[in-house]
Amino acid sequence: MKKVCLSVVALACAALVCSCGSKQTIVEGNKGKLDSLSYCLGANVGGSIKYQLGDIPFDVEVVKGAIKDGLVNKSKVSHDDAIATLRDFFTTTLPERRAAKVEAEKSDSTAVFQFFLNDEECESVSYAFGSDIGNNVRESNFPIQYYWLIKGFGDAWEDSTELSIEHIMGYLQTYFTVTRPAEAAERSAKWIEKKAKSFGAKQTESGLVYKVVKAGDMEKAAMSDEDVVKVHYVGKLQDGTVFDASRFEDRSKEQQEMMRAQRPQMFDEKGNLLEESQPIEFPLNRVIKGWTEGMKLIGPGGKIKLYIPAELAYGRRGAGRDIGPNEALEFEVELLEVTPAAIEVAPAEAPAETPAQ
């Protein structure tokens, strides 16, 4: 098959589309029955990388093996170590080797340039590369059959995919824009319906489901969308995965480790947070509709659980890596303080002039 540049659109989706709201399934798959999603994802990744980095003589078999290890979370290197290896290679080593290759070809265009210093370096970089790919796909929570994903990757690298490039890209385009959002919408609707029937739950006309854990001071409850609230909160996907939290200790272990790595100045030598996590403060007209409505249902000192339909959350667009299109969400919120919006007072009418005597 003729070498063609595969669009990086679907590859970007693989990195950014959120959790599907349910436990991910990663299995080997039936080798006799093509899994279109896994094969097309693998082919898109393989073709995109081949187009952009085809001059690098990776050990493709090592890459494929590492992809599998990353997918099943059994990589021989940690994700941080893989990232460090790749960062060093792509930011420092690769530019130097490419420059040396150009100089070598000037003196002898027929000479075979030794891109890697030795087999050990080639294997190290190839494994880190494959492990990172597998880890990223695994964290994106697609239902993956790794036999077909790896086969798609290898076929695209060899320019011999079982499906045409047009079919691959058409399938992925439909999956990300139609199939996946529709599946999420159906799943979210069923989840909200189940939560609405759970003990102690109530549902508003908008569809918001909530449980008041503690009412708080209702005399000081927010009344206007312009009111400012101060809160601590935990945000969860439908499977209970924490995607965001105001308190460090409420975040997932992965998020905590990421924060320690990215902001070491915030922690002591034992990895403990130096300062207590601060509450979040915002006006109610700057957040999703479910929050705007839900924060008026309790007063300061109150606690509430919100089960927010997708249309009152981030809708079809989703939000970042964790929240996909049409995903219903759960929040546990502790309302600490409400600051009423400033009310503009009309100036007093000027007194009439004293009538002439």
Coil vs helix vs strand at 307? strand
**pTM of full prediction above 0.85:** no
Closest CA to 241 of 257, 258, 253: 253
Mean per-residue pLDDT, 256-278: 84
Fold category of 187-339 in CATH: Chitinase A; domain 3 (3.10.50)
**7 band by pLDDT with thresholds 50, 70 and 90:** very low
Residue 15: pLDDT over 60 = no
Q: Which residue has the tokens 């595969």?
A: 6
Sequence ranges of the domains in the chain: 9-163, 187-339
The encoded tokens of residue 158 equal 């060899």
Give yes or no for residue 353 having a pLDDT over 80: no
List all residues 6 or more positions away from 71 whose beta carbon is below 8 Å from its beta carbon.
26, 134, 135, 137, 138, 144, 146, 149
**Tens digit of each residue's pLDDT (9 = 90 or more) over 305-349:** 999 999 999 999 888 778 989 999 999 999 999 999 875 444 545
In whole angstroms, give the CA distance from residue 305 to residue 310: 16
The pLDDT confidence band at residue 24, using thresholds 50, 70 and 90, is low
Residue pLDDT, tens place only, 336-345: 999 998 754 4
